[in-house]
A = this chain, B = another copy of it.
Amino acid sequence: MLSYTEENYLKALLQLTVEKGNKEGAGTNELAVHLNLKPATANDMLKKLKEKKLVEYEKYGKSSLTREGRRLATDVVRKHRLWETFLFEKLAFAWDEVHEVAEQLEHIQSKKLVDKLDEFLGFPGFDPHGDVIPNARGELQMRSTKTLHEEVVNHRCTMVAVKDNAASFLQYVNQVGLRINDTIHVLSRQPYDDLMEIEVNGKKSSISSRFAENIVVSCKDCDIAKPKIKSLNAIK
Q: Which residues of A contact B (CB under 8 A)?
A: 87, 90-93, 97, 100-101, 104-105, 108-110, 112-113, 116-117, 120
Instruction: Contact check, B92 vs A112: say whether CB atoms are below 8 A apart.
Output: no
Flag if A93 contacts B116 (CB, 8 Å).
yes
**Are A116 and B91 closer than 8 Å at their CB atoms?**
yes
A112 proximity list for chain B (CB < 8 A) = 93, 97, 101
The answer, among B90, B97, B104, B108, for a CB contact under 8 Å with A120, is B90
How far is the CB of A111 from the nearest CB of chain B, in Å? 11
A91-B120, A92-B116, A120-B91 known; A108 vs B105 contact (CB < 8 Å): yes
Q: How far is the CB of A12 from chain B (nearest CB, A)?
A: 21
Q: Are B91 and A101 in contact (CB under 8 A)?
A: no
Are the C-beta atoms of B113 and A108 separated by less than 8 Å?
no
The complex places the Cα of A116 from the Cα of B93 at a distance, in Å, of 9
Are the C-beta atoms of B91 and A117 separated by less than 8 Å?
Answer: yes
Q: Which single residue of chain B is at the shortest CB-CB distance from A109?
A: B104
Residues of chain B within 8 A of A109, CB atoms compared:
104
Q: In the complex, what's the smallest C-beta–C-beta distance from A205 to chain B, in angstroms?
A: 29
* Closest chain B CB from A75 CB (angstroms): 16
| Complex Cα gap A102–B93 (Å) | 21
Do the beta carbons of B117 and A108 come within 8 Å of each other?
Answer: no
Contacts of A110 in B (CB 8 A): 100-101, 104
Provide the bound-state CA to CA distance between A117 and B90, in Å.
Answer: 9
Task: Give 16 A-B pairs besides A92-B116, A93-B112 with Cβ atoms closer than 8 angstroms.
Answer: A87-B113, A87-B116, A90-B120, A91-B113, A91-B116, A91-B117, A93-B116, A100-B110, A101-B108, A101-B110, A101-B112, A101-B113, A104-B108, A104-B109, A104-B110, A105-B105
Which residue of B has the minimal Cβ distance to A104? B108
- Residue of B whose beta carbon sits closest to that of A119: B91
| A90–B90 alpha-carbon span in the complex (Å) | 11
* Closest B residue to A4 using CB positions: B4
A151 to B223, CA, bound (A): 71
Q: Which residues of B lie under 8 Å from residue A113 when comparing CB positions?
A: 87, 91, 101
Please indicate the chain B residues that have their CB under 8 angstroms from the CB of A108 in the complex: 101, 104-105
